[in-house]
Structure formats: structure tokens, C-alpha cells
Amino acid sequence: MANVPAEEWGADQAIQMIPNDYLRYYWFAAEMIRKEEEREERGLGTRAAEMLRIEQDLFARYQEPSLTTLPEELSRRGGAYCSEVAVTAMVAIANDQNRLMVVNGLNGKTIADLPSDVVVDVTAKVNRKGACSLYPGPLPLQVRGLIQQVKVYETLTIEAAVRINRDLALAGLIANPLVHSAKVAEHLLHDILNANREDLPEGWT
């Protein structure tokens, strides 16, 4: 897989699965932090800062009436083929194709190890009725804990946003596998709220 360099992975033999690119942030956290620090030392800024620059360039390109091909910046942004997936899903629904696709959907009873009301990314049969998730069986023990912990972080963060609740926001950050200290979580929340103060609804303190 182009976005998962083989030389970075040695654990796939142990877990008996093809690793998703995002796992590098959890399984190689120290290495990823070191790469970010190296970017800063070279004057490139963080990946997040780079993404903001790329998106500004993309928005400018999309305003060009003569643009008829995918901008080169899109390959550096990521998600270049999401539009193809979306069209494929629409075609499968319109033509009742029973196409197997990986989609986001309400969990329900699909994965028993997760709450029924969360969204999961699973293989589904896509046809005129929409996307019908296929039961993948229990989560493998090798990754069950990480998946559940990430879902707890996501759920608490959503609850915090809906209820405008600082305690829930802090609890979500503490639950995040990438945040290894409650003190760090407190500093992160303080910085996040300060950086986004103008865009937050009333009630956040």
C-alpha cells in the first residue's frame, strides 16, 4: 500500500492484519513525534500547518474556471480518491449492484464489542436499500483495546461538544491513547479552547 511504507512496519506479522496508516500514530508515537520535531528544525512547520497551506492553495485552484483535472495539491492533502468512492457508492445504490464497500455506518449489532449508537467503518453490501453492514465477528484481541479506547475518546468529545461541557472534553482527552498524562490533557484543552475561542459557542470557559 502506497501510504503504508513497509519498512516502518514489523508488527503486522504479530497482529496478523494489514495495518491502517493511522496506526503509526499509536504504535510508533515516539517516532512520529521525532519526525514532527525534525520538520520544525528544518523550518517546515508541523504537518497540521502544512495541511492548512495546502488547503489554502486548493481553495484557490478550485476557483479557477479552467480547472478540469485534479489539482496536484490534492495528492499532498490526502483523500484524493474519496470522490471516486462516493460515486461508486451512488452507482451501486442506483443500479442495485450489491457491491461490497467499506463505509461508515451506525454500528447497531455489527460489532458487539462497541456500543450500538457509534459509527463504525466496516465492509457493507451496497444496493438499492443502501449500505447493509456485514458482521465481521468479535474484534480481534490484538486490537480490541485500542479500538475501544479510541471510540471512548471520540464519544466523550462529541458529548462535550453537544453539551458544552468542559469536564467531558477533559475526560475525552485523558481517554485518548496519544495523551499519556492528565496534566498534559489539561494543558491541551486549555490551548485548544484558547486557540478556537472566537469560533466556540457561548458557555465554554
What percent of the chain has pLDDT above 70?
Answer: 92
Could you tell me which residues are beta bridge partners of residue 104? 121
Residue 113: is its pLDDT beyond 90? Answer: yes
3-state helix, strand, coil in the chain (%, to 5): 55, 10, 35
Ordered by start, the domain boundaries in the chain are 82-133, 141-199
Can you give the pTM of this predicted structure?
0.81
Q: Which residue is associated with the grid cell 469560533?
A: 199
Could you tell me which residues are beta bridge partners of residue 119? 106
Contact (Cβ atoms closer than 8 angstroms) between residue 87 and residue 96:
no
Helices and strands, counts by H and E, the chain? 9, 3
Residue 36 dihedral angles phi and psi, to the nearest 5°? -65, -40
The per-residue pLDDT for range 132-166, each reduced to its tens digit, is 999 888 899 999 999 999 999 999 999 999 999 99
Report the catalytic residues.
22
| Rounded-to-integer distance, Cα 125 and Cα 130, Å | 8
| Rounded-to-integer distance, Cα 132 and Cα 126, Å | 6
CA atoms within 13 A on the CB side of 137: 2
Contact (Cβ atoms closer than 8 angstroms) between residue 194 and residue 178:
no
The per-residue pLDDT for range 17-63, each reduced to its tens digit, is 877 778 888 988 898 899 889 988 988 888 888 888 899 998 999 89
Please give the grid coordinates belonging to residue 10.
514489523
